[in-house]
Chains A and B, each alone.
Chain A
Amino acid sequence: MNTSTIPANRGTLLDQAYELAQTLERRLQHAIRGREAVIDLLLTALLADGHVLLEDYPGSGKTTLAKALGDSIEDDQPHDEIVAFRRIQFTPDLLPSDITGVTVFDPDTGSFSFRPGPLFAHIVLADEINRTSPKVQAAMLEAMAEKQVTVDNVSHPLDELFFVVATQNPRDQAGTYPLPVAQHDRFLFKIRMDYIEREAELDVLRSARERRQAPGQELPRVSRSAVVLARRTVESFVHVDERIHTCLVDMARSIRESPHVTQGVSTRSLVLMLPALQACALKRGRDYVTAEDVAYLAPFVFAHRMELAPGIDDASEVIRECTRPAMEILTRSTLR
C-alpha cells in the first residue's frame, strides 16, 4: 500500500480541476451544439496531456471546436511568443519549417534569430494532417511527442500546455499520405465525428446568429497555468487501483490474442491511457478510476492502434468482445 502522505490541499486542487473542466465544457458546449461526446473526449485528452485525431467531414465544426477551446484558455503569459490558438492547414507542398519556425538573419543585429512557427501555441488545429508529406508529418509528430521543435540543431521547447487537435477526412483519400499505424499511436484518441442529431442540428441553426454576435464571451475563461495545474492534479490525485492496472493488461493481452486482430495494442497505449482514465474520472466528479471509465475510453484509445484481420471492420465491437472477460473480473472483484 502506498503510505505516502496526502497534501492537505488535495481536495481543493481536485475541486479546482473539476471546476476548470466544467467551465471549459460549458464554453465549448455554448460554442458548438450537439457535440457533447466529442467535447467530453477533447477535454479528457486536454487534461490527460494527450492529443486528439478527429476523423470528420468538412463543416462538422472541428475548427469552431478547436478555436473555442483556444479562446477559452486565457494566456496568462502574454509577453512570450506563444499564442492561444493556431490553425495549420496541411497541404502537400508544406515544409517542416512552415510549422516549426525558421531561423532568419537580422541585419540590424547582424545575427540569426529564431522565428517560431504555428506550433508555438497552446492549442493547435492541424487540419487535414494526412494531406501533407510524411516529412512534415514526422516533424509534427515529433513536436507532439517531445513538446519541442529542433531547427538548425537548436531545440526550442513548446508550451507546456501544447495540445494538438488534428483532423483528417475519411473520404477523398486521393493524393493524401495516410498516417501509418505507428503514427496513429501518438494520438491519445481518434474520434469519429458523425453527423449530429436532428434536434441538435436545428439548435445549431437557431443559435447561429446569437453565437456569432456573442461567442460566449460572457462565460468565464480559464487560465493556461490553471489547465497545466489541473493536469498535474489529475495525474497526482486521481487514484488508479491496482485492479485497474490488471484489467488493462488483461484487456491488451486478450486483444492481441484475438484472431480478429493482426496487430494488437501497444504497451505505450496502456501507459497513455492511465492519465486519460484519471481525467475521465475527474470529469465525472470522482477521485478514483472505475471500470466504467475503462469501458468508456477503451474504444477511443485502442481502435486506431489496432490492425484488424481482413473482413473485420468494426474495431469497437472487437474491443468490446475481447475486453468483456477482464471487465467482468474487475467488476466482480468489487464484491469481495
Chain B
Amino acid sequence: MEQDPNGKEKPRQKPPEPEDKGEQGQPKPVALVLFHDDFTPTDGFYYFRQKTMSMFNGARLVPDTTGLADRDVPSRFPAAGPEAQPGGVGIVPEPTDSSLTRTVRTTVNLIIAHPLPIGLINPTRMEASGNPDPYHFVRAYKVESAAFIGDLSTLMGRRAGNPLWSRQVWSHYTRTPEDPRYRRLATEIVGRLQEQYREDPLAQAVMVKLWLETEGTYSLSQRILDSDDAVARFLFGDKVGYCVHFAHAATHLVRSLGIPARVATGYAADARYRFEGSALLLQDANSHAWCEIYLEGVGWVPLDVSPQRTDARPPPPPDADLQRMLGQLARKEAPSQEGRPQAKRDLNALARKALAVLARGAGILLVLGILAAGVGKVVRRLGPYVGPESTRTLRTFRAALDCLADVGVLRPFGDTRERFARDQGNRFEALAPLTEFRMREALGDPRNPSPPEARELLEHYRNLARQIRRSTPFWRRLLGLLNPFSWLFVR
C-alpha cells in the first residue's frame, strides 16, 4: 500500500473513489484529525501527505535516499522533549511567502498504526502529544502546517523551483525517463496554451493536468504498477489507470518541461465532510497519490489529476456520529454514549484519580509530619537557651532526654527517672543532677521552690552533651541528629 498504494484517486472535481476494497465492505477509519484553526482549502480538499517519491532511479520514481531532497517530509514520528523541534522529525520547511500561506494547527490521532506520520500539507512542525484515549487511538501528535490560501491563479507568473537549490537538487527533481515521447507529448500539450502563458510553469502544469483529465480514464481495475514501463504503457496506451498512474504520468510530463515535481502519497479528504466541525475522520478509502510541483515562494503545490471519465464511485462520507464521537474522545471530552468500555474506563480513571489524590495527600501529610517533627525537635533542643525562667529546668531536662533519645538511650517502661539516671550513670553522669533538679521542681513543695541557677543547669546540660559525644560513635550521633522523630520516643 505504501509504495504504489491502493491510492485513491479523485476523479473530476475530486470526490475520492473507493479503492481496492471497493464496493464490498465499509471503509475503515484510519485517523482522526482535529483542526485547531478553521481552515478550508480553496480547492475543497485536504491533503495529508505521508511520503513522497522524487528520486528517478532510471526506471521509476522511488523515495529519496540521497538525503538532499524532500527534507520537508518528516522521516519519523515526533518524540516528546527536545526532539519535538522541526529537525527532530526531519522537517526542514521550505521557505514560503507568508502572504500566501497561513499556519494551521491540527492534532492527528492515528487509529491504526502508520509507518510514518501524516500531516496536512505543508507541515512545518510536529510535536508529540499525549494520547487522549489509548483505547481508540494508537498515537497522537500535533502538526503545524503552512497551508496555501488563495487561488491557484494568483500563482501565475511564479518561477518553478527554488533558486537556492544546488544543481544536484534541481536535477533530482527534474529527472525523467529517457523515453523521448514524454518530452514530445508535453511540448505538444503546452503548445495549446495561449502565447502569453506558454512559458509560465504553473500554466504549463495545469495544462498537463487538464489534458490528463480529459484524455485519461480512472479505473480501479488497473491498479498495478508492476513493471518499469507501466507509466509509459498507461500514458502512451489506453490511458486507463488509477491515481498512481495519473500522478506518475503528470510528474514525468511536467518534469520533462523543467518543472520540479514529485509524487506524494497519503490521504485526500473532501473538506465538506468536516461537516463544519473541527474533527475530520480519515478512512482507508481516502488514501491517495498525487503529483506536486514546486513554485518559488509557495513550496510544494498539489497538482491532482481528477479524470473526467471514471468507472468508480467516490468513497462514502465518514459516519458523522462516529466522527463526532471520536472527535470528543480526541478532545478528552466525556462522550455520553456507549456504556460498557466507557463506564469501565471512567471507573478506572476515577480510581486512578482517587489513588493519585490519596497518594498526594499521604505524601503531603508525610512531608508536613516530617517538617512538624523537625520543628518540634529544634524547638525542644533550644529549650535550655530560650524560654521563660519558670520552665527552664523542665526545658533543659527535656532537651537532655532528647539528646539521649537521639543516640537511642531511652528510659525503659515502668522505670523511675532516678533509676534511669542511675543506670546511665557510668556513661552520662550529668543526667543525675539534671534529673534531681527536675524532680525537685515537679514533686517538691511548691511553697519552697529552690530553682537551680541557669548557669548550673546549662553546665550540666553541656556536660551531658560532651559525655554523649565521648561515648557514642559519630555515625550514631549523626543518625540521631537527622532523625526528626527521635524526640517523640522520649517518655
Across-interface contacts of B443 in A (CB, < 8 A): 239, 241, 243-244, 288-290, 334
- Decide if A335 touches B398 in the complex (CB within 8 Å): yes
B477 at the interface (CB under 8 A from A): no
Smallest beta-carbon distance B135→chain A, Å? 59
B491 at the interface (CB under 8 A from A): yes
Contact of A288 among B401, B411, B439 (CB under 8 A): B439
A10 at the interface (CB under 8 A from B): yes
- Decide if B491 touches A6 in the complex (CB within 8 Å): no
The residue on B at minimum CB distance from A335 is B398
The interface-forming segment of B87-95, B101-109, B170-178, B414-422 is: B414-422
The residue on A at minimum CB distance from B441 is A334
Smallest beta-carbon distance B454→chain A, Å? 20
The interface-forming segment of B143-151, B289-297, B444-452 is: B444-452
Complex CA–CA separation, A287 to B417 (angstroms)? 17
Complex CA–CA separation, A1 to B401 (angstroms)? 29
Smallest beta-carbon distance A186→chain B, Å? 29
> Per-residue CB proximity of B420-453 to A under 8 Å, as 1/0?
0000000000000000001110111111100000
- Decide if B439 touches A287 in the complex (CB within 8 Å): no
- Decide if B439 touches A10 in the complex (CB within 8 Å): no
B413 at the interface (CB under 8 A from A): yes
Given A292-B419, A295-B419, A239:B445 Cβ within 8 A: yes
B490 at the interface (CB under 8 A from A): yes
User: Restricting to B391-408, which residues have a CB under 8 Å from any CB of A?
Assistant: 394, 397-398, 401
Across-interface contacts of B397 in A (CB, < 8 A): 335
Given A1-B446, A288-B445, A334:B439 Cβ within 8 A: yes
Given A292-B419, A327-B414, A328-B413, A334:B447 Cβ within 8 A: no
The residue on B at minimum CB distance from A3 is B447
Smallest beta-carbon distance A5→chain B, Å? 8
Across-interface contacts of A291 in B (CB, < 8 A): 416-418
A155 at the interface (CB under 8 A from B): no
The residue on B at minimum CB distance from A5 is B447
Complex CA–CA separation, A2 to B447 (angstroms)? 7
Complex CA–CA separation, A331 to B398 (angstroms)? 13
- Decide if B442 touches A292 in the complex (CB within 8 Å): no
Smallest beta-carbon distance A301→chain B, Å? 16
Smallest beta-carbon distance B398→chain A, Å? 6
Across-interface contacts of B411 in A (CB, < 8 A): 331
- Number of B residues near A (Cβ < 8 Å) is 24
- Number of A residues near B (Cβ < 8 Å) is 30
Across-interface contacts of A1 in B (CB, < 8 A): 446-447
Across-interface contacts of B445 in A (CB, < 8 A): 6, 237, 239, 287-288
The residue on A at minimum CB distance from B442 is A334
Smallest beta-carbon distance B261→chain A, Å? 91
- Decide if A292 touches B491 in the complex (CB within 8 Å): no
- Decide if A332 touches B448 in the complex (CB within 8 Å): no
Given A327-B414, A334-B417, A287:B444 Cβ within 8 A: yes
Across-interface contacts of B442 in A (CB, < 8 A): 241, 333-334
Smallest beta-carbon distance B390→chain A, Å? 14
Smallest beta-carbon distance B14→chain A, Å? 89
The residue on B at minimum CB distance from A288 is B444
Total A-B pairs in contact (CB under 8 Å)? 72
A4 at the interface (CB under 8 A from B): yes
Across-interface contacts of A4 in B (CB, < 8 A): 447
Smallest beta-carbon distance A243→chain B, Å? 7
- Decide if B448 touches A295 in the complex (CB within 8 Å): no
Smallest beta-carbon distance A285→chain B, Å? 10
- Decide if B417 touches A288 in the complex (CB within 8 Å): no
- Decide if A331 touches B447 in the complex (CB within 8 Å): no
Across-interface contacts of A295 in B (CB, < 8 A): 416, 419
Smallest beta-carbon distance A77→chain B, Å? 33
- Decide if A335 touches B491 in the complex (CB within 8 Å): yes
Contact of B440 among A6, A288, A324, A328 (CB under 8 A): A288
- Decide if A324 touches B413 in the complex (CB within 8 Å): yes
Across-interface contacts of A287 in B (CB, < 8 A): 444-445, 448
Most chain A CB within 10 A, of B415, B438, B491, is at B415
The residue on B at minimum CB distance from A10 is B448
Most chain A CB within 10 A, of B411, B447, B491, is at B447
Complex CA–CA separation, A5 to B448 (angstroms)? 9
Across-interface contacts of A289 in B (CB, < 8 A): 443
Smallest beta-carbon distance A247→chain B, Å? 10
Most chain A CB within 10 A, of B394, B397, B445, is at B445
Smallest beta-carbon distance B444→chain A, Å? 4
- Decide if B447 touches A292 in the complex (CB within 8 Å): no
- Decide if B448 touches A6 in the complex (CB within 8 Å): yes
- Decide if A324 touches B414 in the complex (CB within 8 Å): yes
Smallest beta-carbon distance A48→chain B, Å? 18
Smallest beta-carbon distance A273→chain B, Å? 16
Smallest beta-carbon distance B380→chain A, Å? 11
> Per-residue CB proximity of A79-121 to B under 8 Å, as 1/0?
0000000000000000000000000000000000000000000
Across-interface contacts of A328 in B (CB, < 8 A): 413-414, 491
Smallest beta-carbon distance A244→chain B, Å? 7
- Decide if B448 touches A331 in the complex (CB within 8 Å): no
Across-interface contacts of B438 in A (CB, < 8 A): 334
> Per-residue CB proximity of A272-308 to B under 8 Å, as 1/0?
0000000000000011111110010000000000000
User: Restricting to B442-491, which residues have a CB under 8 Å from any CB of A?
Assistant: 442-448, 490-491
Complex CA–CA separation, A1 to B447 (angstroms)? 9
Complex CA–CA separation, A274 to B417 (angstroms)? 20
The residue on A at minimum CB distance from B419 is A292
Complex CA–CA separation, A331 to B438 (angstroms)? 11
- Decide if B394 touches A335 in the complex (CB within 8 Å): yes
The residue on A at minimum CB distance from B401 is A335
- Decide if B490 touches A335 in the complex (CB within 8 Å): yes
> Per-residue CB proximity of A306-333 to B under 8 Å, as 1/0?
0000000000000010001101100111
Smallest beta-carbon distance B426→chain A, Å? 19
Complex CA–CA separation, A334 to B415 (angstroms)? 13
Complex CA–CA separation, A332 to B418 (angstroms)? 13
Smallest beta-carbon distance B284→chain A, Å? 79
> Per-residue CB proximity of A202-244 to B under 8 Å, as 1/0?
0000000000000000000000000000000000010101011
Across-interface contacts of B394 in A (CB, < 8 A): 335
The residue on A at minimum CB distance from B440 is A288
Across-interface contacts of B490 in A (CB, < 8 A): 335
- Decide if A331 touches B444 in the complex (CB within 8 Å): no
Complex CA–CA separation, A291 to B445 (angstroms)? 15
The residue on A at minimum CB distance from B398 is A335
4 nearest interchain CB pairs? Answer: A239-B445, A324-B414, A288-B444, A292-B418
Ordered by A's residue number, 17 sampled pairs between the chains whose C-beta atoms are within 8 Å are A2-B446, A4-B447, A6-B445, A239-B445, A244-B443, A287-B444, A288-B440, A290-B417, A291-B416, A291-B418, A320-B414, A324-B413, A324-B414, A328-B414, A331-B417, A331-B491, A335-B491
Which residues of B pack against A, CB within 8 Å? 394, 397-398, 401, 411, 413-419, 438-440, 442-448, 490-491
9 new A-B contacts at CB < 8 Å, known A4-B447, A292-B419, A327-B416: A6-B447, A239-B448, A241-B442, A241-B444, A291-B418, A292-B417, A331-B415, A331-B416, A331-B417
